A and B are shown apart, each in its own frame.
Chain A
Amino acid sequence: MAKSLFEERLNSGKFLVTTEIGPPKGTDISEMVHHIELLKDKVDAINVTDHQSSVMRFPSLGGCLLVREHGGEPVFQMTTRDRNRLALQADLLLAYSRGIRNVLCLTGDSVDVGDHKEAKPVFDLDSVQLLRMIRIMESGKDLAGNDLKGAPEFCIGASVHPATDSIEPQLIKFDKKVEAGAQFFQTQGVYDLDCLRRFMQYASQFNVKILAGIIVLASARMAQYMNDNVPGIVVPQAVIDELAGAEKGKGLQKGIEIAVRLMKMIKDENLCHGVHIMAVGREGIVPDILEAAGLGVSVHV
């Protein structure tokens, strides 16, 4: 029996589509709720980011609760940057109890790249240890070996970076995550499909679902900025040039064009099991992208 709706969809064999929502910096959640309503029926799951880029925001767990409330299928992005193992376990217990059954286990960006550079980085666990911890909790024990009064069950995933220039260490990490129990992977932004192909040659030996990360860029400058400052993002020069070549004011359109092109190719060639769209603050355009990519099908709740 599947642990969550998303898991069902993972196992169904269909081409998967997920996207992410970044919560606001503040109590005004109106826009986030609007985006949830907009996307909940169009994707297989909605990720809520956890202080992405170490910028303080409304919490991921809170965002997931809202997704649930509004009838969507949330993926709880959990980093280990801010909470120790007690807090992490507690949040998981709460998440499960409120029907949030999918967790994306991440180490998290370093505090130094964010907007609270003097904060204490916790990193009591890393992503691999978090994956394992969830499996331990599922067996009815907490991390210290005490019995749980009611054990949770989760569909768990992790991230991977196929486009990294140090691929061997990354693959060692990937192996560890698979061994730890990850069922699905949402990759960092992918532009080079050959790279994705090579990665999939390796990853397909495992029984895991890979969703290629698609980042929607709006300009060459944005691409360059992300390249330089955002961890895990590698935009190839060709793409930057393509963006730069766009007509003035048509940057975003070009960006969407590139994203759609990638998504189509991935789907058509069955390169991996799905895509994960990262609109980076422009969640509103996601439905259009899906439409353009031929993935704009409603999904049943």
Chain B
Amino acid sequence: MMNSKEAELCSSERKTMYSAGSDAFKSDHSDGVKKTSFDHTLMPPCQDACPLHMEIREYVDLIAQGRVMEALQVIRDGNPFPSICAHVCTAPCETACRRGQVDNPVAIRALKRFAVEFGGDRMIQLEAETRHEERTAIVGSGPAGLSAAYYLRRLGYPVTIFEAYSEPGGMLRVGIPKYRLPGEILDTEVQRLIQMGVEIRTNTPVVSLDLLFDMGYKAVFVTVGAHQGLRLGIEGEDSPGVVDGATFLREVNLGFKPSIGERIAVVGGGNVAIDAARAALRLGAREVRILYRRSREEMPADPAEIEQAIEEGVEILFLATPTKIAGKDRQLGLTCIRMELGEPDASGRRRPIPIQDSEFNMGIDTLITAIGQAPQIPSDFRLRIGRGSTIQVDPITLTTNRVGVFAGGDAITGPATVVQALATGRGAASRIDDYLQHRYPLVSKDEKETLAGELLPKTIEMIRKLTRFEPLTVSPEARVKEFELVELVYDWESAINEARRCLRCGMGAEILFQDKCATCLTCLRVCPYHVPYLDDSGTIQIPADQCQACGICVAECPAKAIVLRKPQDRRQIDEELDHVLKSAAQAKSKPFIIGFSCQYGLYGTGALASLWRGAKAGIWIVPVLCVAKIEAEHILQAFEMGAEGVFIAGCGQEQCAREDTAFWALQRMEKAKKVLAQIGLEPQRLQAFNLYADGEDPATALDKFTERIGEFYLASAIKQEVKT
């Protein structure tokens, strides 16, 4: 699926500075169809870890430039419900994020939320047309079902979702508390689906799949989820006052206010246990304890959630588990035993072993069990069931033992994450499409090579340590009073600064033309991160897994043998200059001053926008993705286009997210000055502005510069007059 931005870029004429490269590039672009062979970016670990394989690196980069709406477009291209993931995704991308090897992972989920909220996601309307006759039925409106519905509808199929509960959403609705995922967000997404033409029938449990086929559906996708709580298997479990976690949360979310008393114990260590505990607080419980049989390190719940729970006053007892429940009505006596960790079990985690004679008791009003859920598949479905009560499917085609019946989501995996469900739903839609069109399922298209490898200590040493901007949260005291959202969205500055922490894994530099390389060692010597090295055969290698994509070596290589892996990066400045040329031609004017302005950081927030708007007419901005990529040739081109003056505006050495960038930009400016001096152009026609510098306000400095250029222009115009 081609990114819309890429599609746009494909079709226009391009001039590139890499003569040999451009020929090769042209042949790759015959008829405007983009072939991925010239895109040498490696799939970053974040994208690889994401079940949806979202283009995380791309949208984080767009956010860093302040191009939030475009970032949202990238997100939407990869995720059917960005606003949902923005709130509740477990973010396997962050776990894989290599920034974590330096300081902390990039806060990708929070950035996604920023893009969703500031990119105008709410305004996006979706449409779909019906291109096929075959009707498809989806059983269950959880994330897997909703995702499958979205993609099937986009493929042109009539889709009906059957939902047993009164509101659609599955675990999104009934499992995740509203302080993590507000109902309105879910409603908006469901509404969009309905606008697309998906039919959703709530309060309609499906009892037999045969019935669906009788009704004329040609394919069925079973995604009933896993809602059945697992039993503890201890004495007294059926007493009143003992409730299963999923059930408890469902009641809370559907608006019922279960009375649970004041003293609550929750058994379990996953997100359901944490959610139940925190929901209990919000219902007014005074004492809420979680009992978990292993230690904190093994607790599977999201660490941020655990932290927030503790802040709110939840007490977590590690290495403890209940053995017996006694009592009646609301007065329950819970007997627990302490545990210690022994040898690892089948899951790889250390097995908890009860410590002899370590029992203790506590009096509680309600016990919530949250040790896991399993799917409940009606036997009338006649589906083959496997371990953990899950539906057995072929892992690639998602087919069950019944023809035309597919399954996915928690129903086949047991409790998993929202994003995994979304991915399954997407996959299922393709598989169902293949099935209905009688096609052999094509599994995967050109798989891009994934970036592997840890950052070396010498690279990490040079990477500037930047603290992760954690999204702000409402104070714990305020939080527990209600079910409003706990986490606040980023403001612009925080979002952009957080996005700048991205290392841009896999889109760095590579020696594209090995035969041009003379092993002059320039790249090795100029790289601030000591990435290029000489291998045993005396050849320079630029390892993709270390390169920080600053672009310095690309611009310094005397043979122009090094390029950036991402095609758009290679041509970026040339395209922008081209654009200035065309616009100037259209306006029938010459650019008076051309300014190369970095798009990242504070520039991305638009703080500089006022500067440019306020600037005098005739100043044309060429946006660049870091000043380190500006070459002396670009500056000369600006003069070729008729500019009388050129400036470079960027972050100073201290503020840039990469090292040495200001130094190199200035080196190139000096080189350009030397060359221009030979033509008789004054060195003051070039200037570098640093927005963060102390002293003069850049706006004033820019005005002064403009004035000076004006004087030069007049002087040379007069000289011309005198000559003629």
Q: Do chains A and B touch in the complex (CB under 8 A)?
A: no
Q: Chain B: residues with CB nearer than 8 A to chain A? A: none
